[in-house]
A and B are shown apart, each in its own frame.
Chain A
Amino acid sequence: MKFLQAYRMAIKAILANKGRSFLTMLGVIIGVASVIVAVAFAQGSTASVTSSLSSLGTNLINISITGRDSNRNVSYADLVKFQQENSSIIESVAPQAGSSGVVKSGNKSRTTSILGTTPEYADINSITVQSGRFLLQFDVDYNQRVAVVGTAVVNDIFNRANPIGKTIKIMGQQFKVVGVLTETANGQDSSNDDRILIPINVAAKLSKSAVIRNFSVKATSADTVNSAVDALNTFLTKIYSSSKAFRVTNMAQVLSTLNSITGVMTMVLAGIAAISLVVGGIGIMNIMLVSVTERTREIGIRKAIGAKKRNILVQFLIEALVVTGIGGIMGVLIGVGIIKFVLGGLKLVPVVYSVKWIILSFGISLATGVIFGIYPANKAANLNPIDALMYE
């Protein structure tokens, strides 16, 4: 018997029982669609987190001093010296002296984050100004009371007016606004738009603390990040004689950790969705077993007029494959539709189509058809023609 004839035979049998065939497919349709949607959702969230992290720059290294040993310390000057000695791997260093404080303009006030740093900070963290200018080396060297403000601060205490040239009171001291940071988070509270950057020396005086606990470091390229991290670790371990007193972290590391976490999340979501595919497969097996019993007489007739075991097996397997194949295609279409119109419409995450997973889930649905079809098909193929012919 030729494949095309067997295929036509299967289509006829499926069309003879349209309602039942559709109900059987439903399990596969839901299974495939939910795998595709779950994976798209997981990958969309991954993409949005990854893109916002990698916009920070993968050359970026953060140093944070956690030990509280007052006798040993690393100063900004020490790190600048270290940078100059290792300029082939480390491009620049910026201190970060952060604190939280009240800022005032006129009768308006706001609590925001105040960060003391140097001009290098802008380049290291890919920060730009949307108007005015960033901090200059001059501001640092001559203790200028100037501030670069985020849009959340501008919106709140300057009523969205252009603040450049105006004065602002930071923790009781008068500063002149020289620039506005480019908005990155829609001016939301507690975001990167909700902060004020001032020269490091001025910040040290303001907080009455000379100890700087955080530094941003930029490696010369993505390739030198790891050696820069190693060099910094060795350098700091010498100073603190313990690797527990500080932490050197790199965005690439954070990113790869995050990727492995979201990878697991994708697998878990897809796994849960795949369970519905298995349930769909069991549904197919169930219906096919009923169908074999119902069609016992048909099988007997086919065998009497010359069908071999293989013919019957192939007939039932092709039926299972056609049902799961059509179900799989419909599942893919519905899944893609949900991604496009529901996920796309809600705009929760970027729309990502994973061709790999679409093909994979379609393949799994076909495999489900074979795996769960083989037992009923085999049962049909092994029926005794005499018994089958007598069956009412």
Chain B
Amino acid sequence: MIDISNMYKIYKMGENEVTALNNINLHIGAHEFVSIVGPSGSGKSTLMNMLGCLDVPTSGTYILDGQEVSKLNDDMLAEIRNNKIGFIFQRFNLLQKLSALENVELPLIYQGVGSREARERAIESLEDLGLEDRMHHRPSELSGGQQQRVAIARALVTKPPVILADEPTGALDSKTGKEVMGILKNLHSKGNTIILITHDNSLAIQAKRMIRISDGQITEDKEVAK
């Protein structure tokens, strides 16, 4: 599913060069549940941007779902994000002016799916997450947990091969956090590939495989013992 080899990301800060990713080699197979853990400044966010096709590496290759994506231009990256990645963000990142339903429709509209089909699929996705009563509410009228479930519905509506969750419980209380983790585990059990990015060890060990990153390098990559 994901094959990264010899990936470097080097930022120029004035005269200095900062190596955010230092020779990353990583393989993630289909149907895996992987957590990437590390403190802030470890390169974890940079790696997440690479995995999410929000940015391109300075060198190295990244093959996602059989396609080399490290050299694509902005619009091609947008298309890859649209079709292959479902994002779940710490701060939900819903559009405040749109209803839950319209938020979930949006990735389909950018895919070019017709209005009626987009609506049907968005409703289906929201129903899967138990939000059928909240479809016409705006994000500001929903609780944090409900907002994150809308965001998950939006991530799943395109049926992407990879779900990328960046600190999905970071803005939630521990009870709703557990619920969201439960949803992710359930998605994994249904066969989705999930990558969880977190700084929290207790979350990271809930995945099947844990990758620890520090100073831009992978320092640990192990199966989580149950």
Q: Which residues of A come within 8 Å of B, CB atoms? A: 1-2, 4-5, 12-13, 16, 297-298, 300-311, 385-386, 389
Q: Shortest Cβ distance from B9 into chain A, in angstroms?
A: 12
- A5, A13, A297, A386: the one contacting B54 at CB < 8 Å is A386
Given contacts A2-B115, A13-B97, A16-B97, contact A309 B110 (CB under 8 A): no
- B74, B75, B82, B98: the one contacting A305 at CB < 8 Å is B82
Give CA–CA (A1, B114) in the complex, Å: 8
Interface centre among B79, B107, B109, B112 (most CB of A within 10 A): B109
B111 within 8 A of A: yes
User: Is B81 a contact partner of A309 (Cβ separation < 8 A)?
Assistant: no
User: Is A306 a contact partner of B97 (Cβ separation < 8 A)?
Assistant: no
Which 10 pairs, one residue from A and one from B, show the smallest C-beta to C-beta distance? A306-B82, A306-B110, A308-B75, A308-B78, A16-B97, A305-B107, A301-B93, A386-B54, A5-B109, A306-B81
Q: Shortest Cβ distance from B153 into chain A, in angstroms?
A: 12
Give CA–CA (A310, B76) in the complex, Å: 12
B154 within 8 A of A: yes
Q: Shortest Cβ distance from A294 into chain B, in angstroms?
A: 11
Give CA–CA (A238, B97) in the complex, Å: 87
B30 within 8 A of A: no
Q: Shortest Cβ distance from A251 into chain B, in angstroms?
A: 65
Given contacts A304-B54, A306-B81, contact A4 B115 (CB under 8 A): yes
User: Is B55 a contact partner of A5 (Cβ separation < 8 A)?
Assistant: no
When C-beta atoms are compared, the residue in chain A nearest to B87 turns out to be A304
Q: A305-B87, A305-B107, A306-B83 are in contact. List 16 more A-B contacts (CB 8 A).
A: A1-B112, A4-B115, A16-B97, A298-B96, A301-B95, A302-B110, A304-B54, A305-B106, A306-B79, A306-B110, A307-B110, A308-B75, A309-B78, A310-B75, A389-B89, A389-B93
Cβ of A13: which chain B residues have Cβ within 8 Å of it?
A: 97
Interface centre among A16, A301, A309 (most CB of B within 10 A): A301
When C-beta atoms are compared, the residue in chain B nearest to A9 turns out to be B109
Interface residues of B in 164-182 (CB under 8 A from A): none
Give CA–CA (A380, B49) in the complex, Å: 20
When C-beta atoms are compared, the residue in chain A nearest to B105 turns out to be A5
- B87, B109, B154: the one contacting A1 at CB < 8 Å is B109
Given contacts A305-B106, A306-B83, A386-B54, contact A12 B78 (CB under 8 A): no
Cβ of B87: which chain A residues have Cβ within 8 Å of it?
A: 304-305
- A2, A16, A302, A309: the one contacting B112 at CB < 8 Å is A2
Interface centre among A16, A300, A302, A304 (most CB of B within 10 A): A304
Give CA–CA (A2, B105) in the complex, Å: 13
Cβ of B89: which chain A residues have Cβ within 8 Å of it?
A: 389
- A16, A298, A301, A306: the one contacting B78 at CB < 8 Å is A306
Cβ of B97: which chain A residues have Cβ within 8 Å of it?
A: 12-13, 16, 298
When C-beta atoms are compared, the residue in chain A nearest to B115 turns out to be A5
User: Is A311 a contact partner of B110 (Cβ separation < 8 A)?
Assistant: yes
- A1, A16, A300, A386: the one contacting B110 at CB < 8 Å is A1
Give CA–CA (A330, B98) in the complex, Å: 28
When C-beta atoms are compared, the residue in chain A nearest to B112 turns out to be A1
